[in-house]
Structure formats: C-alpha cells, structure tokens
Amino acid sequence: MSDTAIDRRRARGDASRRVILESATDLASVEGLDGLTIGRLAESSGMSKSSIATLFGGKEGLQLAAVQAAADIFREAVVDPARELPRGIARLAKLLRSALDYSRDRVFTGGCFFAATAADMDSKPGPVRDAVRGWLRDWYGYLEAQVRFAAEAGQIRADAATVRRLAFELIALDNEANARSLLTGEDAPYEIAAAAMRERLLQVGAKAEDLQSLA
Amino acid sequence: MSDTAIDRRRARGDASRRVILESATDLASVEGLDGLTIGRLAESSGMSKSSIATLFGGKEGLQLAAVQAAADIFREAVVDPARELPRGIARLAKLLRSALDYSRDRVFTGGCFFAATAADMDSKPGPVRDAVRGWLRDWYGYLEAQVRFAAEAGQIRADAATVRRLAFELIALDNEANARSLLTGEDAPYEIAAAAMRERLLQVGAKAEDLQSLA
C-alpha cells in the first residue's frame, strides 16, 4: 500500500476506536467493566464483533482502553477547566465544582465512571483493576496536592495532617453526592455537597472571593 | 407426620438457611448480588443446588433473603450496640464508630455489604434493587433522625438545613472510609474519618464527653 492508503486506513481505525470507546465507557458506567463484553458492545455501538476484536484484541484490551478513554473524558471535563484558574484555592474550588457537574450532567449514563467501576473490581485482581485503582490514586493525589499548595501559599490554615484530612473530606463529599444522586434521582445532593465543601474551606480561612466556583 | 417430626424438619430447614445465607451475604459483598448464583453458592456453602433452590425458590428469592440477612447482621453489629447509649449525640457518636468498625473488621469480606451491592444494582430495576435502596434510605434516615434529635435536645446547634447537611457529611465520611480502605488495604481511612466526624460535631457545639466513642 502507498503511504496515503496506510494513513487512510489508520484514520478509519482511529474513528472506529472512538465510536466503540464512547459506547464502551458509557456501558461500563452502567454495567461495570465486567459487563463490557464484545457481544454487548457490538449491540450498543453498531460495530461488528470481529472489528471490535481486531481493534482491541479481546475483552481485557477493550476494558483497559475504556479506562484510558474515561480518564481522557474526565480530564477534559474536570481537570482542564480548573487549569484556567490560578493554582491553589481558586483552582481547588473549580476542580470540586467541575467534579460535581461532571457527575450531575451524567457525562456517563451511570454517573462517575470510576465510582461505578471501582467497587466492582475489588474482587478481581489484574491489570484492569490496577488501571482503575491507579487512576483513583492519581485523582485523589492531585486533589490533595491542590489542598497542600493552598496551605503552603497561606490561602488556608492547615498543617500536614489537616491537609490530608481535608482532602479526604472533600473527596468524600464528591463521591457521596454522586452515589446519593444515583440512589434518589435528584440533583439536591450536589448542592448539599457544594455547600458543605464551601463551609469547610471557609472554616480553615479560605476567602469567599476564592470560592466563587462553589457559591 | 407427627407435630414433632414437622418441628424437627423445620429446625433443619432453618439451620440450612442460616448456613447458606452466611455464605450468600459474604459472597455478595465481594461479587455483588448479581454474582449470587445458586451454582456458586452451592460451591461456597457446601450445600447441594437442589436444597438451595428448594429453600429459596430461585435466584431472586435468594438475593432478597441475602439482603434481609445482611440487614440483620448490620443491625446487630451497628444499631443494637448504640441503643445502649442515651438518644441524641452520644448514641450518634456510637453509631458512627460502630459503622466504621463494622467495615474495618470486615464483618463481610467485601467491606460494607450495602456499599458493595448498591452501585451494582443501579442499572437493574426490580425488587432486589428496591430492597437494597430501601435499606439505604432507612439507614440514612435513622442517622439523620439521631442528628435531628441531638439538635432538638440542644446538644448541638443546627437548624433543619444544617441537620440535613451534617447527616450527609457524616455518612459521606463513613462511606469514604469503607471505599478507601478497600482501595488501599489500610486501616488509616477509618481513623481519618473518625477524627473528621469528631471535629465536625465539636464545631456545632457537641461536648467532648459525649463524643468518647469517636475519640
């Protein structure tokens, strides 16, 4: 084949991957990563089983690609918008708001992709569980780093133990809002969580003008 | 059959149910309620498939009986010990500590039975999902009622909106401790959550002597 023909074939492969992964992440958010079989995905994406198998090389390859695709979508929805605000407390508040919105807006049908798939994976050691858990550790670490930066910059009063606990509390509120909204079908949990996050940050000395994202 | 023979047969049936349900709740805490098949349960409990089918009448009957059995175990581990303390703030603190201990001690191998099975059920409408969700609503409602009672008795300062938010925050901390410990295999999340619960209750005016369970 000519270089152009190879490029075209690659472009078609990339487009097919995107279509399949969009279905796959959404399906996994509802059914769990274990429910992500090539047969079900063929139904929901409209692609043939053999193309899916060719592109991803089996169920595990598909699951790993879905986790990576979900991480990309989360980054675009939550992490990138917060980068527009200065590091520290303002960026932290924006990250928390974007994380609540990402769940509330059902970017994935089953709410937060990682919350939906993590519990499922507890009993299934292997590379897929490692990928989900690795992502959770990274996200929690990133959020805690923002809290630490805000403390170091004097934007909040918090020693090392308080930084760790504060990050834990903020993540707990975010995860609870997602779980409770899925339980009740209501949006109220997001507002309760945002109000609790805001109050908690005010208590450690954050200025109201830095918390506008959570207002 | 004589009355005595019938009584003996009933007693044997009850004992078999107990053995099977002990296996079933533990298995479901790891594999989810969907993983609770009669075949798998026969393997883990050592009972025959046909006895299990006779006693529970199929998979859904088995799932519903497992939810009920898990609710009984939770009540014995968490709710009953708290009843020994006076209503209000002291009982609330004891409830929170017992809930953390119940997860930390792995009363069920997969941590909190209801946390493990709730996410799984989101996409599966029906009586089993209703049973899990109904239990979660009852537990959250019971915890919120303790917060409300503490406020009404003047043990904490909290208007109606604060009662609701405070209950949400305390539940969030409990659920996060369970999830994070399952993620990392560590006990530290329980101590972080207990410290955060304690501080939150002190902030709304609880007396330290009423919070000894969380010390």
CB B170 within 8 A of CB A165: no
Give the residue from chain A lying closest to B176, CA to CA: A172
Summarize pLDDT for A41-72 with one digit per residue, the tens. 999 888 899 999 999 988 999 999 999 999 99
CB B120 within 8 A of CB A32: yes
> Which amino acid would we find at residue A103?
S
pLDDT at residue A103 tops 90? yes
Please state, in angstroms and rounded to a whole number, the distance separating the CA atoms of residues B30 and A87. 40
Looking at the complex, report in whole angstroms how far the Cα of residue B116 sits from the nearest Cα belonging to chain A. 6
Looking at residue A160, its pLDDT comes to 97
Neighbours of B135 (CB within 10 A): 19
Contact A203/B at CB under 8 A: yes
Number of structural domains chain A divides into: 1
CB B113 within 8 A of CB B68: no
Confidence of residue B1 (pLDDT cuts 50, 70, 90): low
pLDDT at residue B120 tops 90? no
Q: Which residues of B touch A96 (CB under 8 A)?
A: none
Please report, for residues A61, A113, A186, the alpha-carbon distance to residue A178 in angstroms, rounded to integers and kept in the order given.
Answer: 28, 10, 10
Partner A, chain B 54-83, Cβ-Cβ below 8 Å: none
Looking at the complex, report in whole angstroms how far the Cα of residue B34 sits from the nearest Cα belonging to chain A. 11
Q: Which residue in the set A31, A164, A193 is minimally distant from B123, CB to CB?
A: A31
Confidence of residue A89 (pLDDT cuts 50, 70, 90): very high
Yes or no, beta carbons of A122 and B173 under 8 Å apart = no
Give the residue from chain B lying closest to A189, CA to CA: B168
List Cβ neighbours of A2 (8 Å cut-off, separation of 6 or more): none
Q: pTM for the complete prediction? A: 0.93
Contact B123/A at CB under 8 A: yes
Summarize pLDDT for A162-177 with one digit per residue, the tens. 999 999 999 999 999 9
Confidence of residue A1 (pLDDT cuts 50, 70, 90): low
Q: Which residues of B touch A176 (CB under 8 A)?
A: 168, 171-172, 175-176
Looking at the complex, report in whole angstroms how far the Cα of residue B123 sits from the nearest Cα belonging to chain A. 6
The CB-side HSE value for A76 (13 A sphere, CA atoms) comes to 6
Looking at residue B91, its pLDDT comes to 97
Max distance between CA atoms of chain A, in angstroms, equals 66
**CATH number, residue A13:** 1.10.357.10
- What is the DSSP track for B53-80? HHHH-SHHHHHHHHHHHHHHHHIIIIIH
Range of the domain at B11: 3-214
**Shortest CA distance to A31 belongs to which of B119, B174, B165?**
B119
**Shortest CA distance to B107 belongs to which of B71, B72, B73?**
B73
Contact B106/A at CB under 8 A: no
Partner B, chain A 23-52, Cβ-Cβ below 8 Å: 30-32
> Which amino acid would we find at residue B157?
R
